[in-house]
Structures are given as structure tokens and as C-alpha cells.
Amino acid sequence: MSARIIDGKAFAASLRERVAAIVPAFEAAAGRKPGLTVVIVGEDPASQVYVRSKGKATEAAGMVSTTHRLPETTTQDALIALVRDLNADPAVDGILVQLPLPKHIDEQAVIATIDPDKDVDGFHVVNAGRLAVGQEGFVPCTPLGCIMLLEDRLGDLSGLNAVVVGRSNIVGKPMAQLLLAKSCTVTIAHSRTKDLQDVCGRADILVAAVGRPAMIKGDWIKPGATVIDVGINRIDNGEGGTKLAGDVDFAEAIEVAGAITPVPGGVGPMTIAVLLRNTLVSAYRRAGVPYEKGAI
Ligand SMILES: Nc1nc2c(c(=O)[nH]1)N[C@@H](CN(C=O)c1ccc(C(=O)N[C@@H](CCC(=O)O)C(=O)O)cc1)CN2
């Protein structure tokens, strides 16, 4: 058996187009464009690439993109002061502080400063709480993108056994909450889980978000399962360079799974597409303009 490849790149492109098609209607109703501000501290090369991509995608969708590039030596107080200014700026609908931050800055303290109603990353504890109790808020972009891919592939997810390997605040935990909200039977597994292979083998939906290249082997996967690989690990390509690899052993998994996201080209591109979606939703909510929820 050879699994169907879930084309996250194509799905993300269509989501970005859908968002861009709605932006003019927002502008006509609100008299301004939606605005996303991204803050990056330091020179982490991968973060620089992601932030550039976010800026380009935001502009391509017809929104206002602003990027604050701060030096590695920026103090936590200076970063928090900038976030407070952005909270108070009516033209800013979405604030995103690129992670990871330099070690001398407490990420949680910075995230806690972001106005929850501009927190398009969905990382603020208020948005985590809203997700947990089923209230409207912002949901982290990567897990929401995974749910979109899963529903596109499987339709109704209710009753399915879902296993999420990884318990981070930005992927594992919100992913589990979203699957629960879709009426899946959810297990969160992690590095201390006993019989991890056995736990994974019971999953109709297996989400890997551990950050360990090729950790999930083919014989861990239930035949026909849908596998969502959130891992983006840079590894040696054997020719003196590097390449990206997921948390799932793709060559093995493709022989067993029913469908699987590749790395690259699976979940990754959904992160930025959903960010644009969250920014547009924020703009509508903040402007008090009604919008068709199903459309975005
Ligand atoms: N504030 C945030 N920081 C970080 C987030 C986030 O959602 N909010 N997520 C990641 C990084 N990230 C966006 O910021 C991101 C990661 C990967 C991709 C992506 O498109 N990946 C491609 C491969 C790209 C490449 O060649 O390197 C893919 O998987 O196909 C987009 C965004 C951590 N920080």
C-alpha cells in the first residue's frame, strides 16, 4: 500500500487566496486594511526566513505588514514596551512575536503582555483557556492548519482515535484540544509514555510533534491511518549540506499509512496561511464588522 500524500502547500495556497479574496470586502466595510505586526529579536537564520515569508504573504493578501527587527541584545523590558505600544495602536489587528526569543528573555512574560484580542498566534494563556472551554478566541496556527488538512481529507473526525505525540504549548496541547473539540478520542503521548509504539499503533489519526527526526517508524503506524507530521528538523543530507526531515520515517510510513503529510510541503506552509486567516478574523472582530465564519 502507498499512502496518499496530503499536499499542505497546495491547501495553504488556496487558503491564502481565499483570505486575499475577502480582504477587499473588509476594507470596504471598515475603511482600512487589516494589519499584522511581526516582532523578531536576534539573528536566528530560520526565524529570519519565516519572518520574511510572513511579511511577503501578508502583503500578497492585501494586508498591511509591519516588521520590527530588534537586536539580540534587546532587553525584556524594551520588548515588552514595544508590545504595549502595539497593543495601543488601532491599526494593528495582529501582533506576533517570533519564537524562539534569545535566552535572556522570558517568552511567557512577553506573550502575556500581548492583548489577547490581537494574539493571532493564539499563544496567550487567555486564548489557551478559551480553546480549552470552547470559547471564541485565537487558535495557534500550526494545529489549526493540521485540523483543516484532516477535515479536508477525512470529513467528520468524530469517534476517531487520535494520538498526539508531543505536549508543547504551541502544538501538542492545542492540537489535542482541537481534536477533542472535533469529538475524537484523544491520547497525548510524550517522551515518558510507556509502550509508545503500541499507543501510536492504535491511532486512526497520528500527529507527530516531538522534534526528533524519523522517530515514528512504519511499524508504529496502524494500517490506513492518517499521519500528520509537524516535525521540521534540519539534518545532514550526507553530501555536506542539510535537508529538512519530519518526526516520521516517511519512507517507511508511506507503505503503511492511508495518508500522510510530507516534510517539507505538508504542515509547515499551513502555519503562515492560518496566520493570515487569524489576522483577517481579528480585523473583522476589532472593527465590529460581521463576517461569514465558514468562509474563512
Ligand atoms: N510566533 C511564532 N513563532 C514560531 C511559530 C509560530 O507559529 N509562531 N512557528 C514556528 C516557525 N514558523 C513560523 O513562524 C514556520 C515554520 C515552518 C514553515 C514552513 O513553511 N516550512 C516549510 C519548509 C520551509 C523551509 O524550507 O525551511 C515546510 O515545512 O514545507 C513556516 C513557518 C516556530 N516559531
Distance from the CA of 88 to the center of ligand 1, in angstroms? Answer: 27
H, E, C per residue of the chain = CCCEECCHHHHHHHHHHHHHHHHHHHHHHHCCCCEEEEEEECCCHHHHHHHHHHHHHHHHCCCEEEEEEECCCCCHHHHHHHHHHHHHCCCCCEEEECCCCCCCCCHHHHHHHCCHHHCCCCCCHHHHHHHHHCCCCCCCHHHHHHHHHHHHHHCCCCCCEEEEECCCCCCHHHHHHHHHHCCCEEEEECCCCCCHHHHHCCCCEEEECCCCCCCECHHHCCCCCEEEECCCEEEECCCCCEEEECCECHHHHCCCCCEECCCCCCCHHHHHHHHHHHHHHHHHHHHCCCCCHHHC
Ligand 1 atom showing the smallest separation from residue 12 Cα: 20
CA distance 64 to 75: 27
Residue closest by Cα to atom 13 of ligand 1: 50
| Residues 31-60: tens digit of each pLDDT | 999 999 999 999 999 999 999 999 999 999
Portion of the chain with pLDDT greater than 90, in percent? 98
Q: Ligand 1 centroid to 250 CA: how many Å?
A: 19
**Catalytic residue IDs:** 54, 98, 121
Q: Quick one: pLDDT at residue 294? A: 86
CB 111 within 8 A of CB 97: yes
Give the binding-site residues of ligand 1, using a 6 Å CB cut-off: 50, 96-99, 121, 141-142, 232, 244, 263-265, 268-269, 271-272
Confidence (pLDDT) at 1: 65
Instruction: Give the span between the Cα atoms of 153 and 277, in whole angstroms.
Output: 20
Name the burial class of residue 89, with classes exposed (0-12), middle (13-18) and buried (19+) by CB atoms within 10 angstroms of its CB: middle
pLDDT at 154 over 70: yes
Tell me the mean pLDDT in the region 261-289.
98
Query: What residues form the annotated binding site?
Result: 166-168, 232
Q: Which atom of ligand 1 is nearest to the CA of 269?
A: 20
Which pLDDT score is estimated for 52?
98
Percent of the chain topping pLDDT 70: 100
Residue 75 is predicted with a pLDDT of 98
Q: What are 182-223's pLDDT values in tens digits? A: 999 999 999 899 999 999 999 999 999 999 999 999 999 999
Q: How far apart are the first and last CA of the chain?
A: 35
Q: Which CATH class is domain 141-269?
A: alpha beta
Return the ligand 1 atom nearest residue 267 CA: 29
Nearest by Cα to 245 from 222, 225, 228, 229 = 229
Distance of CA 95 to the CA centre of its chain: 15
Q: How far is the CA of 195 from the centre of ligand 1 (A)?
A: 30
- C-alpha cell at position 169: 504549548
**Separation of 19 CA from ligand 1 center, angstroms?**
19
Residue having the nearest C-alpha atom to atom 29 of ligand 1? 268
pLDDT recorded at residue 296: 85
The angle at the Cα of 132, spanning 127 to 136, to the nearest 5 degrees, equals 50
Pairing relationship of beta strands 233-236 and 242-245 according to DSSP bridges: antiparallel
Confidence of residue 156 (pLDDT cuts 50, 70, 90): very high
Residue 30 CA to ligand 1 centre (angstroms): 30
Q: What is the pTM of this model?
A: 0.98
Residue stretches of the annotated binding site for NADP(+): 166-168, 232
Could you report the per-residue pLDDT of 84-109, keeping only the tens digit for each? 999 999 999 999 999 999 999 999 99
For ligand 1, what atom is nearest to the CA of residue 98? 1
Q: Residue 133 pLDDT more than 80?
A: yes
Q: Which CATH architecture has domain 30-125?
A: 3-Layer(aba) Sandwich (3.40)
For a substitution probing ligand 1, which of 56, 98, 149, 274 has the most ligand atoms within 8 Å of its CB?
Answer: 98
Considering the chain, tell me which residue range(s) the CATH 3.40.50.10860 domain(s) occupy: 30-125
Which part of the chain has CATH 3.40.50.720? 141-269
Q: CA gyration radius for the chain?
A: 19
Average per-residue pLDDT for the chain: 98
